[in-house]
Structure 1
């Protein structure tokens, strides 16, 4: 009888171990798949402003401008940007930062907006995008150091420069995360973020469930751990709200009222997180989907941005 019981226990233990090993194998496979989707460079063609868009004329106008290519090295990577000088010479410059799986070419409508408002414009390719080097997408965590490096370059070229950081989606999270960094040069005077997420963890958890019905545990935890192995940081470490709690720079937060990619509720979290006493403004564009606020209501968007710029980094 004892022999039979021991044999049953062995079979049960093997069954449990077998299930555990199978689950680990499945988790590893799913983790590697989602890591590739979320964090590995993909040079597929970038979606551009549609020809039927209200803002397509801005893209056409931008394409007529004289564009200079700038390069820097940061974090061992060669990074590329377009620089467009203002029509009338000025010390005021806007750094325009693109979103997830975009590149600088997708930001031409914003580049033209600031050019028309009288600013010099610098439009970088994030690491792992466009003409910049890099294999891994860092959701703003490492990109913030690149934005700071670009700001330092502009400051070295012109000690009188006053800089605005503007970012869209992932670029918005990037400029928010840059806001509390001790090495951000004092030449940076204000920030405009459009549809940025509150944290990388919150956004990827949300995307995992809304897009794939993948729960945070164990998959997102596993993908975050994979990221720590490959890039050296966990998703929980990259937080816009944590940075904004220390931000002293005036900030304009913009979001589409019907954004379901970076849910609109996140802009309220970001707005609330801004350090007490720091000037802040909020624009919710009714009916605008993700990264479509400017195209949904160009007049409101332009006037809001213009007024904010005239307050905190005016062209004289």
Structure 2
């Protein structure tokens, strides 16, 4: 009996220690994945320099916007009083054509200025939100597109009132692309005409599972399950429910899928089930030898032509 009691006591200690380790590891993984950048306002300036350096053709356009004070700031408020920031610019001539441009993970609105340039040259109004926990918006965590879809829907309504009677395309890159796809499955207003996603992931579970393996060489069990449960407890959503794949299956509006063929951060394989699962109308454009979020940089003319042709079908 003493030996059984001794074994039971040690098993209890071992189990308790294991629970503590897994809980601590889950807290670390959630913080590692969903904590915003420090000094975001300073980083925005760095990102602006980066996007201009990578896309020098946009510098004269940005300089002209800044010179005549045509790139405006605006704020909307969440129910809890947190501030959400965006930039916007009117088209040279009054038009209903409007592009909402949604940035990626730990980026900010200014990282979408090269895509805004495409639409500006087409005569569109543009609105570039900073997602929650990014850029100049408030927020103590990253929402991975899932809760962001609600914020973007509010920005869409704001754009419709700002530019008056709009026809809108929503165009996102990386996490912004996932945001656009997650929104596409909702009951969206008629002024949202079409969607463009560039290198978005199938769901948060699949993306984080890949990063857990690539960065930490760890299997999905148990950390994916415990971290997802912690996310649900803390923020109200789980990794599995944050699914672009499930949302595009409910989308009946046109959606253009873009992906680089050598993307390993959001693996190229993800675009195929997304495209297959989306009902018509839809289009798939693959860009050879382009890594993550590099399709435009590597293929400026082709990327621009594909975007122009796609929106031309559905925005007039």
Please give the range of the TM-score, normalised by the shorter of the 2 chains.
over 0.9
Map of 2:281 onto structure 1: 279
Task: List runs of 5+ in structure 2 lacking aligned partners.
Answer: none
**In 2, Cα distance between the equivalents of 1:133 and 1:62?**
25
Two-structure CA RMSD over aligned residues (Å): 1.5
Structure 1: distance between partners of 2:10 and 2:51: 56
Match among 12, 31, 38 for residue 43 of structure 1: 38
Offset of 1:146 from its aligned partner? 0.6
Alignment partner, residue 226 of structure 2: 222
Match of 2:56 in 1: 56
Q: Distance in 1 between matches of 2:7 and 2:29?
A: 33
Return 205-214 or 251-260, whichever deviates more: 205-214
Please state if 1:130 is matched with 2:135: yes
The normalised TM-score by structure 1 is: 0.92
Contact 1:59/1:108 (8 A) holds in 2: no
**Where in structure 1 are there 5+ consecutive unaligned residues?**
1-5
Q: Does 1:181 align with 2:183?
A: no
Structure-2 separation of matches of 1:294 and 1:37: 29
Q: SS state of the match for residue 136, structure 1?
A: coil
Which residue is equivalent to 1:307? 309
Which protein has the larger Cα radius of gyration, Structure 1 or Structure 2?
1
Of residues 9, 13, 21, the one that matches 1:14 is: 9
C-alpha distance in 2 between matches for 1:59 and 1:166? 21
TM-score w.r.t. length of structure 2: 0.92
State the 4+ residue runs in structure 1 displaced beyond 4 angstroms. none
- How many angstroms does 1:63 deviate by? 4.0
Give 1:112 deviation, angstroms.
Answer: 1.4
Distance 1:97 1:63, change over 3 A: farther
Say whether the 8 Å CA contact 2:101–2:127 is kept in structure 1: yes
Instruction: Give the C-alpha shift of residue 64 in structure 1.
Output: 2.7
- Summarize the alignment of residues 66-85 of structure 1 with structure 2, pairs less than 5 Å apart: 66-76=70-80, 77-85=82-90
Equivalent pairs counted in the alignment come to: 305
